[in-house]
Amino acid sequence: MATSSETKTVHSPLVTYASMLSLLTFCPPFVILLWYTMVHADGSITRTGNYLKQHGLQGFIQIWPKPTATAWKIIFCYGAFEAALQLFLPGKRVQGPISPTGHCPVYKANGMAAYFLTLFTYLSLWWFGIFNPTVVYDHLGEIFSALIFGSFIFCIFLYIKGQLAPSSTDSGSCGNIIIDFYWGMELYPRIGKDFDIKVFTNCRFGMMSWSVLAVTYCIKQYEQNGRVADSMLVNTILMLVYVTKFFWWEAGYWNTMDIAHDRAGFYICWGCLVWVPSVYTSPGMYLVNHPINLGTQLAVCTLLAGILCIYINYDCDRQRQEFRQTNGKCSIWRKAPSKIVASYTTTSGETKTSLLLTSGWWGLSRHFHYVPEILAAFFWTVPALFNHFLPYFYVVFLTILLIDRAKRDDDRCRSKYGKYWKLYCEKVPYKILPGVY
Ligand code: NDP
């Protein structure tokens, strides 16, 4: 187990306290207000605002749904099903990146099979009249409420496990209980040898719920109106393409910051268990009661633009991954890649090298992949048109998140690679948007 001095926090204690306090104080009520506004107040912030003005705190407590037995049952069945798929579906053995302590996590790549089996099972349950997804929509508030409390308890479990029974050497305390709880203690927590907790929370519960809820909203609109509006179709298809891309590339995701650098704590796990199912899916939640007709031309153009953005985002990740996997012996935009050979020292004092790609998408800016990510979110939201701001909350949130993430990643890489990162910044001066930022 790493000693306290070896474990660095991502932000200063002050920033951590401030962000933790605001996350704990504002995020749970925000999730409930978002759901309430989308489902019961026509998506209008003004309407919800007026309600709160009139009824005050008591009114807010009244709209906060209690976690019911139905909500717990839905969450439990879904979670158990996903855990079983993660454990038992066959998949290729893949290795994650070597951690700073020299540990190399091994995974079973069965995400794509789990994804298709989940959607197939869900649609079959509906088709054969065994379970109607509208039940999920009708109990959405209770489900979010249960997730808010349940995930908090889950994060306490993660903290205790990190203290008492860490799964690998990539674990440690920074000496501050609050920061340990918030940023997490273990990088690769597991139950037993094979059940990876972060793969479960981030991928199989969080990301999977995105696709399941997207389908749920579509079915709810169909059952409510007897048809699905083209706006809802564009939204659902784009979200499904995005999540399909995610699972197609899931083994690549295991090499990213979320898995390889961010520890399993409140910040990432609560976010994946609560924020993804509620906030990420919110444009679809809005559309259920707003069957907007875009017309074929606008619908097709929006769909194609969204697919193009998702493809470019995928291609950025693919380029980096292929470049690293082949040790730079690949072609990037039909040319040999230009690169920096960067050396760094691990916590155990070993010197290692990594390759930094400086051509292709990674030569445009240091985090160009965030541009198509944000644009794709815009294109699956724009079918909601511009009557209300709230459907665009996710796009705004994502933009802020990714700007912060680019900064965190730059800081981390600067301290890891030192002069080599400086060289990369000189070669590729923009952080996200070429020519602007
Ligand atoms: P990545 O982890 O994939 O990329 C950053 C890492 O790549 C760095 O930490 C560094 O790691 C390495 N790296 C940096 N520059 C280079 C380079 N020039 N050549 C090779 N390697 C380099 O980024 P993210 O995790 O942020 O993003 C992954 C995907 O997830 C993206 O598609 C992103 O859009 C998406 N995403 C979506 C979010 C959402 O909420 N919807 C949130 C965040 C991300 P090393 O230490 O190995 O050198």
Give one DSSP letter per residue of 189-251, joined into a string: -EETTTEEHHIIIIIIIIIHHHHHHHHHHHHHHHHHHSS--HHHHHHHHHHHHHHHHHHHTHH
Q: Which of 175, 204, 201, 173 shows the shortest CA–CA distance to 266?
A: 201
Q: Please calculate the CA angle 108-109-115 and round it to the nearest 5 degrees.
A: 125
Atom of ligand 1 nearest to the CA of 97: 47
Tokens found for residue 280: 């990420």
Cβ–ligand 1 contact at 139 (below 6 Å): no
Q: What is the pLDDT of residues 70-107, one digit of tens each?
A: 999 999 999 999 999 999 999 999 998 888 777 888 99
Cβ–ligand 1 contact at 313 (below 6 Å): yes
* Helix%, strand%, coil% for the chain, nearest 5: 65, 5, 25
Cβ–ligand 1 contact at 356 (below 6 Å): yes
Distance 405 CA to ligand 1 centre (A): 9
Atom of ligand 1 nearest to the CA of 370: 34
Distance 223 CA to ligand 1 centre (A): 40
Cβ–ligand 1 contact at 196 (below 6 Å): no
Residue pointed to by tokens 């050979």:
341
Distance CA 17, CA 293 (A): 45
Cβ–ligand 1 contact at 321 (below 6 Å): no
- pLDDT interval class at 5 (50, 70, 90): very low
Cβ–ligand 1 contact at 399 (below 6 Å): no
Check if the beta carbon of residue 252 is closer than 8 Å to that of residue 203.
Answer: no
Check if the beta carbon of residue 218 is closer than 8 Å to that of residue 284.
Answer: yes
Give nearest CA residue, ligand 1 atom 16: 356
Q: Which of 221-230, 296-305, 351-360 has the lowest mean pLDDT?
A: 351-360
Tokens found for residue 224: 């409510």
Collect all residues with Cβ–Cβ distance below 8 Å to 84 and sequence separation of at least 6: none
Q: Which of 34, 45, 5 shows the shortest CA–CA distance to 388?
A: 45
Give nearest CA residue, ligand 1 atom 12: 356
Q: Between β-strands 195-196 and 190-191, what pairing exists: parallel, antiparallel or unpaired?
A: antiparallel
Cβ–ligand 1 contact at 354 (below 6 Å): yes
**Beta-bridge partner residues of 109:** 92
What's the chain's average pLDDT?
Answer: 92
Give nearest CA residue, ligand 1 atom 23: 256
User: Which alpha helices (DSSP H) does 128-176 contain, by range?
Assistant: 134-138, 140-164
Q: What is the pLDDT of residues 370-382, one digit of tens each?
A: 999 999 999 999 9
Distance 282 CA to ligand 1 centre (A): 25
Distance CA 236, CA 230 (A): 10
Supply the pLDDT for residue 399: 97
Please state whether the predicted TM-score (pTM) of the whole model is above 0.95. no
Supply the pLDDT for residue 10: 55
Cβ–ligand 1 contact at 276 (below 6 Å): no
Q: Do you know the residue count of the chain?
A: 437
- pLDDT interval class at 333 (50, 70, 90): very high
H-run or E-run covering 57:
helix 45-63
Cβ neighbourhood burial of 216 (10 Å; 0-12, 13-18, 19+):
buried
Give nearest CA residue, ligand 1 atom 27: 256
Q: Using most ligand atoms within 8 A of CB, pick from 209, 211, 254, 257 the residue to mutate for ligand 1.
A: 257
Q: Which residues of 257-272 are buried (b: 16+ CB within 10 A; e: fewer)?
A: ebbbbbbbbbbbbbbb
Check if the beta carbon of residue 302 is closer than 8 Å to that of residue 294.
Answer: yes
Distance CA 166, CA 180 (A): 13
Would you give the DSSP letter of residue 98?
P
**Is residue 2 predicted with pLDDT exceeding 50?**
no
3-state secondary structure at position 2: strand
Q: Which of 300, 312, 155, 332 shows the shortest CA–CA distance to 245?
A: 312
**Is residue 3 predicted with pLDDT exceeding 60?**
no
Q: Which of 14-18, 265-269, 294-298, 367-371 has the lowest mean pLDDT?
A: 14-18
Check if the beta carbon of residue 369 is closer than 8 Å to that of residue 316.
Answer: yes
Distance 144 CA to ligand 1 centre (A): 29
Sign of the alpha-carbon torsion through 218, 223, 229, 231: negative
Cβ–ligand 1 contact at 320 (below 6 Å): yes
Cβ–ligand 1 contact at 99 (below 6 Å): no
Average pLDDT of the residues in 276-282: 97
Average pLDDT of the residues in 141-162: 95
Average pLDDT of the residues in 40-45: 96
H-run or E-run covering 428:
none
Supply the pLDDT for residue 11: 62
Distance 257 CA to ligand 1 centre (A): 6
